[in-house]
Amino acid sequence: MNTLYIRPPPQSAADSTSRWLELACPFALVSGGGLIEREGVASFAQLSGAAAGAQRVVVLLAASDVTLLRVQVPPLSSARLKAALPNLVEERLIADPSACVVVAGGLPGSLSGNLSGNSFGSSSGSSSGGLRTVAVVQRDWLKFLANTLIASGARRIAALPAQLCLPCQPEQRGQPEQRGQPEQRGQPEQLGQPEQLGQPEQPGQPASVTAAISEQGTGLDLTLRFTEQEGIGLAIAPAMGAAEGLEAQEALAREAIRTLCALVPEAPLTLYVPQPTMRVYRDAISHHDVLNRRINLLADNWPRWIAGAQGAAPDLMAGLGAAGGSGLAWREWRWPMVLASAVLLTHAIALNADWWHLKSEAGSLRATQIQIYQSAYPKETVILDPLAQMRQKIDAAKRNTGQPAPDDFTAILAAFGEVCGSVMPGRAASVIEALEYRERSLIVRLKPNIEAPLQQMKTALAERGLSLDLVSPDAGSARPAGWKIRSAK
């Protein structure tokens, strides 16, 4: 399953231009085996084809757009936590959270809220005791990114905080002379306060911090990860009237180092910067011996971000529900679905055609029956069921000529007498207790404790067009109370 990783620009950079879709975004296309097939920098418009072809798109949201909070969460179910999250984080945000996406780490539940600006909040604490990491991002910005990717054909979308995708433990630092850094020069006061940098670590200061700097237009995006669950981000804009070219890069690099010194005054720091700007940042930190020992400068690359994104949480796209894209690859199923729809449509047409044909035959047959009935009985004006009415007329004609109907008492009794004479010769009087005729049926009451050849009687009566059924037994008796004989026609 190939995956497309994208690092979009921060919202501040997108808000500064009306053509933000043309802003450069670092991306990497990773195959199912974990190999990077393609990487580089491209705009969202240029990535539409890659997004449509990838089975999953992972968006590493700029750390300056995501606020991570450590919140004391009571033991609640997912549904209750979803309803309680706004109240738990409301006092730590600068605006009403009712229009922001708020997601608790490790939980699929989320709630929407609004964050009008960058607000950084994190509190140190252990992961035990009900503390959970809660991520907050502006809903409109996240929804805009999701809709843009969905319009490009993305199938499954995940959005992760970039600060939680940085390595939590930095690699072993090398000595300055091993990296080939030049000798120290300049005044240390240009980058920070030496008396602060030389002080021992204060209690509670993280042992090590990981940071990354990426270029976004004319500014920088700074990402820091303090602990496994804490990190912040900051967008650094160039100063008004600043120079351009190499001079501007050097000024931004010094400003980024100053910001890092303010945010991380004492802890060891591993800093990832773009490969083309390695020399600029190396020159910036080489001016100060303390920074040169404390900051481990490494070139940024995609394998670190991809490895960090594998287990990163929470997925902020869960806060948008259906806007995160469908998990089913509908594009691959479009032709099977078209074929299945065509088969169902063909069967529906065939069933309707057969129904119309049978209905036409039934109408033609009824018209023929009515015509025959009217020709035989022209004086009849009310014809509801020509077949039943014809049978009634024939039975009445037979009775008028002296022929009994099949269900007349005399006809059934005569046939029953013949059968009794052949099946039970001389025994009929000892078996039969009484005879009744009702509802065009002959009820034969049998004497108790008398064995009667039931199967032979059924066979003989069937030959004469009569049927024999058992009558329900009398109370307290296991034998049938009698037989019910009627015409089988």
* Residues 171-196: tens digit of each pLDDT: 444 443 333 343 333 333 333 333 33
Q: What does the alpha-carbon distance between residue 87 and residue 98 come to, in Å, rounded to a whole number? A: 10
318 and 379: one domain? no
Residue 160: the pLDDT is: 93
Mean pLDDT, range 378-394, rounded to an integer = 87
Residue ending a domain, choose from 298, 328, 358: 328
* Position 128 pLDDT exceeds 70: no
Question: What percent of the chain has a predicted confidence (pLDDT) above 70?
Answer: 81
342 and 323: one domain? no
364 and 414: one domain? no
DSSP class of residue 237?
P
Q: Look up the domain containing 185 and give its range.
A: 3-328
Residue ending a domain, choose from 293, 328, 363: 328
| pLDDT higher at 74 or 367 | 367
Residue ending a domain, choose from 328, 350, 369: 328
User: And the tokens for 35?
Assistant: 């190999």
Task: Assess if residue 118 is contained within a domain.
Answer: yes
pLDDT tens for residues 136-146? 888 888 988 99
Whether omega for the bond prior to residue 314 falls within 30 degrees of 0, making it cis, is: yes
Residue 190: the pLDDT is: 34
Task: Assess if residue 402 is contained within a domain.
Answer: no
User: And the tokens for 120?
Assistant: 């950084």
Residue 1: the pLDDT is: 76
Q: How confident is the model at residue 198 (pLDDT cuts 50, 70, 90)?
A: very low
197 and 277: one domain? yes
User: And the tokens for 6?
Assistant: 């994208």
Is residue 92 within 8 Å of residue 69, measured between CB atoms?
A: yes
Residue 193: the pLDDT is: 35
64 and 213: one domain? yes
* Position 92 pLDDT exceeds 50: yes
349 and 454: one domain? no
Task: Assess if residue 71 is contained within a domain.
Answer: yes
Task: Assess if residue 95 is contained within a domain.
Answer: yes
Q: What does the alpha-carbon distance between residue 333 and residue 329 come to, in Å, rounded to a whole number? A: 7
Residue 358: the pLDDT is: 95
Most confidently predicted of 96-110, 166-180, 287-301, 470-484: 287-301
Question: What percent of the chain has a predicted confidence (pLDDT) above 90?
Answer: 21
Task: Assess if residue 403 is contained within a domain.
Answer: no
CATH number at residue 443: 3.30.1240
Residue 480: the pLDDT is: 55
Residue 380: the pLDDT is: 85
* Position 101 pLDDT exceeds 50: yes
Residue 129: the pLDDT is: 57
Residue 300: the pLDDT is: 92
Is residue 13 within 8 Å of residue 217, measured between CB atoms?
A: yes
Q: What does the alpha-carbon distance between residue 110 and residue 318 come to, in Å, rounded to a whole number? A: 7
Global pTM exceeds 0.75: no
Is residue 236 within 8 Å of residue 220, measured between CB atoms?
A: yes
What rounded mean pLDDT belongs to the chain? 79
| pLDDT higher at 364 or 113 | 364
| pLDDT higher at 78 or 256 | 256
177 and 214: one domain? yes
- Nearest C-alpha neighbor of 217 from the set 16, 425, 462: 16
CATH number at residue 30: 3.30.420.380
Residue 180: the pLDDT is: 37
Q: How confident is the model at residue 303 (pLDDT cuts 50, 70, 90)?
A: very high
102 and 211: one domain? yes
Maximum Cα–Cα distance across the chain: 140
| pLDDT higher at 123 or 44 | 44
* Position 234 pLDDT exceeds 80: yes
Least confident of 42-46, 142-146, 230-234, 326-330: 326-330
Residue 328: the pLDDT is: 56
Task: Assess if residue 158 is contained within a domain.
Answer: yes
| pLDDT higher at 60 or 479 | 60
Q: Where are the beta strands (DSSP E) in 121-230?
A: 131-138, 157-161, 209-216, 219-225
DSSP string across 391-460: HHHHHHHHHHTTPPPTTSHHHHHHHHHHHHHHHSTTTHHHHEEEEEEETTEEEEEEPTT----HHHHHHH
Task: Assess if residue 83 is contained within a domain.
Answer: yes
Residue 407: the pLDDT is: 77
Q: What does the alpha-carbon distance between residue 254 and residue 259 come to, in Å, rounded to a whole number? A: 9
The residue with tokens 């047959």 is 365
Least confident of 87-96, 124-133, 352-361: 124-133
Residue 127: the pLDDT is: 39
- Nearest C-alpha neighbor of 108 from the set 325, 319, 323, 324: 319
108 and 232: one domain? yes
Residue 177: the pLDDT is: 38
Q: What does the alpha-carbon distance between residue 253 and residue 245 come to, in Å, rounded to a whole number? A: 13
| pLDDT higher at 131 or 8 | 8
| pLDDT higher at 109 or 35 | 35
Residue 79: the pLDDT is: 77
180 and 251: one domain? yes
387 and 457: one domain? no
CA 221 to chain centre: 34
Quote the number of domains for the chain. Answer: 3
Is residue 158 within 8 Å of residue 6, measured between CB atoms?
A: no
pLDDT tens for residues 33-85? 889 999 999 988 899 889 888 889 999 999 999 989 888 888 887 778 877 88
Residue 109: the pLDDT is: 39
Residue 327: the pLDDT is: 52
Mean pLDDT, range 15-33, rounded to an integer = 84
* Beta strands at 295-299 and 432-438: parallel, antiparallel or unpaired: unpaired
Q: How confident is the model at residue 207 (pLDDT cuts 50, 70, 90)?
A: low
3-class SS string, 308-329: HHHCCCCCHHHHHHHHHCCCCC
40 and 75: one domain? yes
Mean pLDDT, range 392-403, rounded to an integer = 80
Task: Assess if residue 404 is contained within a domain.
Answer: no
